[in-house]
Structure 1
Amino acid sequence: MAVKDDKLLQAQPTSGPRHVAIIMDGNGRWAQARGRPRLFGHHAGARRVREIVSACPELGVDYLTIFAFSTENWKRTQTEVAGLMALFRRYIMKEMQEFVKENVRVRFIGDRLRLDKQLSILMDETETLTAHCTGINLTIALNYGGRDEVSRATKRLAQDVAAGRLDPENVDEETLPKYLDTCVLPDPDLVIRTSGEARISNFLLWQSAYSEYEFIDTLWPDFTRQVFSDLLSNYGSRDRRFGAATA
């Protein structure tokens, strides 16, 4: 899956982001601009994921988190939602062995209760099959919403307090992350949103408190390895102070 590209290697930032999260937006508009149904764009977007995952090791990215389907996306037409669920099933089945070959560790975040049983089983199988992989960590947000994640985490935290497993006096800002879906992941250094929209759409609300953001006009199916590389280079030139003053 990975292809060496000297131009990309030369463009690799000297202090690039370890964890990049991407809001993959614009599939439907990309398809409609070509006179095709929205699902055509989603299929094109799925193919683009493969390219970006393969570019990560060359560009120094250890963790990639992609926003595939939000808790709000159920509001779309029944036809589009059904098509997306079928696409997710086919994508996972097709890529599962490829992930293992390329040493990609796959995780899923989000509420699985509303997803169909076959898809949930495939997600579990993929996580198990790639658990030994030590290369890039790919996290797929599926039926995910930041507020929903925090709500579910808070509920689990409250249950531990009620059961006496957690002293409420010891609860601080380091406690809640241990209950989030992303508890084993570092916070994203860089969040990218494609398609020209300048909002975060309920994605990684807690985790992205100090993330850098890039809002770009490129539609997701047109998001190439070179566009990705350029954004990583931009990140390397930023001064991240985390609230501290400059000298």
Structure 2
Amino acid sequence: MSKAEPAKARHIAIIMDGNGRWAKKRHMPRALGHQRGVEAVRRVVKGAREFGLEALTIYAFSTENWRRPEDEVSDLMTLMKRFILSDLEEIAQAGVKLKIIGNYKAFKPDVVEMIDRAIARTAENTGTTLAVALNYGSHDEIARAAAAAAAKGPVTPDTIAAELDTADLPPLDLLIRTSGEERLSNFLLWQVAYAEMIFTPVLWPDFTADHLKEAMDTFAMRERRYGGR
């Protein structure tokens, strides 16, 4: 009997954790940690393209992040706008398709307009889909999906799944969380049901495309059983 081919991840999600601790260890402002975190996003998106990932989902701003100090929320919004302004054209020309999950319409009008333009700019691309979770919480997503399914007819796991924000993406294969924390933090709770998970001590600003490739190689060695033997 021939040996089965190693599993190849199609869709990876990342909880990008550790920006604040990275800055604190270096006696730097927390905002600088977030800036370095954006640089890590650039590296990992490039790696995702090179490694042939169909979809990369990153947890950028949760529904709970509104509880952070107002100046930190403002810094995060500013960084997001800078990233779109400086990186959108390169991402678009590389064939990356931008997708947003969560209710980004709750942001200020100038941010919403910028995000809408970015989505439209990459809408026809067919390379890696970069799904950015903005104002996202999995409890909220599941509740919205269940309500939408109920409005159309019987509620089943399949009808709920069809209404999730990620319904047009491949099933989630692997979830990575950086910084050594080992919890899901209300992220993709439905989608992670049979996904593999990797928790790494690497702080997000230090995460590189090599770390992503290492995680993909680890995933390829795992045997996925989906509840079977």
TM-score normalized by the length of structure 2: 0.94
Match of 2:166 in 1: 182
CA–CA distance in structure 1, aligned partners of residues 50 and 6 of structure 2? 12
Contact 1:68 1:141 in 2 (8 A): yes
Contact 1:195 1:219 in 2 (8 A): yes
Corresponding letter in the other structure for 1:63: A
Describe the shift of the 1:96–1:58 C-alpha distance in structure 2 as closer, same or farther (beyond 3 A). closer
Matches within 5 A, 1:112-191: 112-158=104-150, 160=151, 166-168=152-154, 171-191=155-175
Match of 1:79 among 67, 71, 79: 71
Paired residue total: 225
Off by >3 Å, runs of 4+ in structure 1: none
Match of 1:212 in 2: 196
CA–CA distance in structure 1, aligned partners of residues 26 and 15 of structure 2? 22
Q: What SS does structure 2 have at the residue aligned with 1:208?
A: helix
Match of 1:62 in 2: 54
CA–CA distance in structure 1, aligned partners of residues 64 and 13 of structure 2? 19
Tell me how far 1:28 sits from its aligned partner.
Answer: 0.7
Query: Which sections of structure 2, spanning at least 5 residues, go unmatched?
Result: none
Q: What SS does structure 1 have at the residue aligned with 2:85?
A: helix
CA–CA distance in structure 1, aligned partners of residues 98 and 153 of structure 2? 33
Match of 1:9 in 2: none
CA–CA distance in structure 2, aligned partners of residues 219 and 201 of structure 1? 16
Contact 2:6 2:221 in 1 (8 A): no
Corresponding letter in the other structure for 1:103: G
Q: What SS does structure 2 have at the residue aligned with 1:15?
A: coil
**Which stretch of the first structure deviates more once superposed, 50-59 or 37-46?**
50-59
Tell me how far 1:133 sits from its aligned partner.
Answer: 0.7
Q: What SS does structure 1 have at the residue aligned with 2:28?
A: coil
Higher helix residue share: 2
Match of 1:243 in 2: 227
Match of 1:33 in 2: 25
Match of 1:192 in 2: 176
CA–CA distance in structure 2, aligned partners of residues 14 and 151 of structure 1? 36
Q: What SS does structure 2 have at the residue aligned with 1:183?
A: coil
CA–CA distance in structure 1, aligned partners of residues 194 and 156 of structure 2? 18
Q: What SS does structure 1 have at the residue aligned with 2:116?
A: helix
**Which stretch of the first structure deviates more once superposed, 146-155 or 19-28?**
146-155
Tell me how far 1:14 sits from its aligned partner.
Answer: 4.5
Match of 1:223 in 2: 207
CA–CA distance in structure 1, aligned partners of residues 56 and 118 of structure 2? 16
Matches within 5 A, 1:3-18: 14-18=6-10
